[in-house]
Structure 1
Amino acid sequence: MQDNATDDQDTETEWAEHRTDWAEDRTILANERTFAGWMRTGMASIAIAVGLKAVFGAAEPTWLPKSVSMIFIVAALLIFWSAWRNAGKAQNRLNAHNAECQPTRTFAILSTIFSIGAVIIGVVLWML
């Protein structure tokens, strides 16, 4: 009897470890989805900036619609860099088991590219 109890405990422990590993993999994938969601939110902020400039572009004084648009460009930059920082911190705390996770460098590269694009859009909006 004792031997069966030990085997059952070992099996239960093994399954509990598998469930924990799977939960960590799900968390890694959820972190990547959250990062993508924040990047979309940043892009939406840029779209609002472009839309505001298009709608209020003829307003006087001209610096006013440009300034309001720039608020959304700055918000997009903050969103991009916050997403990168938080996704990287979360990814570094977790260990992948079966999931193939993105390297934290990918988060940095994407955030940098999106930020450069936001700055360029901001410059173009200000020059219009």
Structure 2
Amino acid sequence: MSDDTKSSNDSSNDLAEQRTDLAEDRNIMAMERTFAGWMRTAFAAIGIGLAFRAVFGEFQPPWLAKAIATMFVASGGILAIVAQRRARKTMARLNSHRMKPASAPNFGLLGYAVAFGAAVLIAGLWILNNGEVAPSS
């Protein structure tokens, strides 16, 4: 094998490795955007739950509006947990090369904070009615 051929192969391998490294960085950025999309969807579900409760607050029977709102808020909290788990698993598989990705604990912190907020909101929906679960007659 001549030196020119060997040099050409080394150069080709270096370029291939560089493209692979950049592709991995792009995958990390895509995962971060996907996580942001999942979190937006979680917040939207929580917002729909709140809006449903606000718009149909005088719904009869009163517990039905709370139950439907609870379903949306809970699904937002669950979605936040699922999103952070998927993001953390993906981050564990990928290595950044030229960029500094968001840290995996930050995904967990945000996901669990949203889920905790959703749980507190659900408790507030059911409990905060003059300290009673059901309105007084």
TM > 0.5 fold call:
yes
Greater per-residue helix proportion: 1
2:132 aligned residue: none
Structure number with larger C-alpha Rg: 2
Deviations 1:84-104 (A, max 9, x none): 111010100011111111111
Deviation at 1:47, TM superposition (A): 0.5
Identify which range, 97-106 or 42-51, moves more after superposition.
Answer: 97-106
Question: Which runs of at least 4 in structure 1 moved beyond 4 Å after TM superposition?
Answer: none
Deviations 1:7-61 (A, max 9, x none): 1111010000000000000001111111111011000000000110011100111
Instruction: Point out which structure has higher relative CO (alpha carbons under 8 A, 6+ apart).
Output: 1
Aligned residues: 128
Q: What runs of 5+ residues in structure 1 fail to find an aligned partner?
A: none
2:66 aligned residue: 66
1:90 aligned residue: 90
1:46 aligned residue: 46
TM-score normalised according to structure 1 size:
0.95
1:3-42 aligned at under 5 Å gives the runs 3-42=3-42
2:16 aligns to what SS in structure 1?
helix
Identify which range, 111-120 or 2-11, moves more after superposition.
Answer: 111-120
Q: What runs of 5+ residues in structure 2 fail to find an aligned partner?
A: 130-137
RMSD: 1.2
> Is the CA contact 2:28–2:94 (under 8 Å) kept in the aligned structure 1?
yes
